[in-house]
Amino acid sequence: MESIKKIIFTEFLNYDYEIILNQGTIFVFKHKVFDDFWAVCYEKFDLSLQHDMYETVIKVIADLYPCAKKNTSLLVLSDLNKEYLSTDEIVELEKDPFFFKKYVLPYSEELSQKLQYLLISHNAKSISDLIMLQESFNALIEEIDYGMYHLLYCIAHKLPFIPIKAEQKTMQQRDLFLSDSDEISALNEVLSINGNVQSVYEQLKLKIEQECYEQHKD
């Protein structure tokens, strides 16, 4: 738990969020400028009990932040070693329209530690520094099961405020790295290999396409 907690908390802090509530297994973050709130849950999440969670979390901060009632997303950290949620169960949770906009992040302590070491080895301050690297795409394609790189890209998808860095490259540099179309094709190939995690990548693909278009349209 400590590894995934450190990774997730670092991403929030990197992008100007701060903790405004600590309920033990639930932390609430607020953006320092915008009225954007996130509840991060470390306990098993049950749709039938989400009203209780809403009462516990939102009503505590509602007096100070009235807009939190309609602007709070919920990130559920689901430990693969304690509970296995099928793709259908994750989709059911995330599509539920009540109380929160929900995101489910499957993880394990082993995968989280590996990802943490990867970040350190690249001197990366954010996962944003890794997700557009050619080696990351290649490693993702080679992963048949849910591994460290699946976790990396899953975090990028579940936390939409993390920017996708589609950097400008000279023509010579472009010969050494994946082109924009190749980057998107790589994700398409991942989809064909790992159809059961397709929902993880669709929004990420869209973000990459948009970033590439904006930065290379000239």
User: Domains in the chain, ordered, with CATH?
Assistant: 1-107 (3.40.1350), 125-218 (no CATH)
CA distances (Å), origin 89, targets 98, 157, 160: 16, 18, 21
pLDDT tens figures, 184-205: 454 454 444 444 444 444 555 5
Q: Pairing relation of β-strands 26-31 and 101-107?
A: unpaired
Q: Average the pLDDT over each of 38-42, 96-100, 158-162 and give the range with the smallest value.
A: 96-100
Q: Give the residue from 55, 106, 45, 100 showing the smallest Cα distance to 78.
A: 106
pLDDT of 204: 53
Question: Is the model's pLDDT at 131 over the cut of 50?
Answer: yes
The pLDDT score that the predictor gives to residue 199 is: 46
- Using the predicted structure, report yes or no on whether residue 211 has a pLDDT greater than 60: no
Tokens standing for residue 109 = 């302590």
The helix/strand/coil state of 79 is strand
Q: Identify the bridge partners of residue 103 per DSSP, sorted by sequence position.
A: 75
